[in-house]
Amino acid sequence: MDNIINVTYITFGGHVEVHKYRYLYFVIMFTVYVLIIISNLTIVYIIVIHKSLHEPMYIFIAALLINSVLFSTAIYPKLLIDFLSEKQIISYSACLLQWFTYYSLCCSDFFLLSVMAYDRYVSICNPLQYQTIMRKTTVYILLISAWILPACQVSVPMLLSANKKICNFHLKGILCNSTVHELHCVRSRMLNFYGLVVFVSAVLLPVLFILFTYTRILVVTYRCQGVRRKAAQTCLPHLLVLISFSCLSAYDVLLARLEFDFLKTLRLIMALQVVIYHPLLNPIIYGLKMRGIHEHLKRLFCKMV
């Protein structure tokens, strides 16, 4: 009977003194989760109700913030349950589902950021063709692709992992990330190779595309001083989000491969930063740096006060 339970459930070993600080962990993370939901959906609400913000740039921002809400909802409820539970366990199927949503939504963020970079590139470098290129149909296709393509890419290793035999039932982290492959009895070269393909296509290429487009924008703004202010107002928030998300993603990839036991506390801190900073900073950055959103946000708060 114990063997059946072990085969079915995976234990999280990344929590630090959870029995001692369970209620403190719960209160902090529950507060953060509520702040993430409220702040992101507030910006989305502002974009939806104001027709002046029904432009591709703001639509993509709303999609990115919705993605943050979905990402947090895939992570936080399970974390909160674990903080109050005697054992921090998860079924293997649920672990694969969390792994799938975690990485598909992360990849969606990179796709959305690349789409936003392309939108800014067309707007600043080819303003006369902007309305022709960024039509509603184009915007919808880009949005749908940003969610469907990563989901299709990540679903392949998830389905392959579902049929693999597992011999290890202990994860060093607090959620199901790329360390799930360490549970398998035999490491698959095909999964490793496909993971590399997904990384290149869903992360590396979008980042290179973003850097290319913003380099072109910098060249144009350097030549034309009148465009410089517009570029700074609209591109700076996207760059800040890209830098923060890329750094956190790098932390996630590195921590998944660290084997040192004395880094358990550091591993927990960095894992929490991955799931806290990006979803919480996005609405702050866009709420403060995007003038169109900032003005409506101030009016909303004035009405509430």
Average pLDDT score over residue span 222-241 = 67
Q: In this predicted structure, what is the pLDDT of residue 3?
A: 43
Residue 227 pLDDT greater than 70, yes or no: no
Average pLDDT taken over every residue of the chain: 82
Would the pLDDT of 256 be above 60?
Answer: no
Question: Which pairs from 297-302 meet CB under 8 Å and 24+ separation?
Answer: 297/42, 297/43, 297/46, 300/42, 300/46
Q: At 279, is the secondary structure helix, strand, or coil? A: helix
Residue pointed to by tokens 């009977």: 1
Determine which helix (DSSP H) or strand (DSSP E) holds 10, and give its type and residue range.
strand 9-12
Q: Which two tokens stand for residue 172?
A: 């060093």
Instruction: Provide mean pLDDT across the span 17-43.
Output: 91
pLDDT at 191: 78
Residue 263, pLDDT > 70, answer: no
* Average pLDDT value for residue range 79-95: 89
- Would you place residue 228 in the very low, low, confident or very high pLDDT band (cuts 50, 70, 90)? low
Q: What is the DSSP letter of 242?
A: H
238-246 mean pLDDT: 77
Q: Which residues contact 237 (CB under 8 A, 6 or more apart)?
A: 285, 286, 289, 290
Tell me, what's the pLDDT at 137? 92
The long-range contacts involving 177-182, CB below 8 angstroms and separated by at least 24 positions, are: 177/99, 177/102, 177/103, 177/252, 177/256, 178/99, 178/103, 178/252, 178/253, 178/256, 179/256, 180/95, 180/96, 180/99
Query: pLDDT, tens digit, for every residue of 129-173?
Result: 888 889 989 999 999 999 999 999 999 888 888 878 888 888 888
Q: Which two tokens stand for residue 216?
A: 């072109």
pLDDT score at 1: 38
N- to C-terminal Cα separation, the chain: 59
Set out the domains of the chain in order of their start, with CATH numbers. Answer: 2-304 (1.20.1070.10)
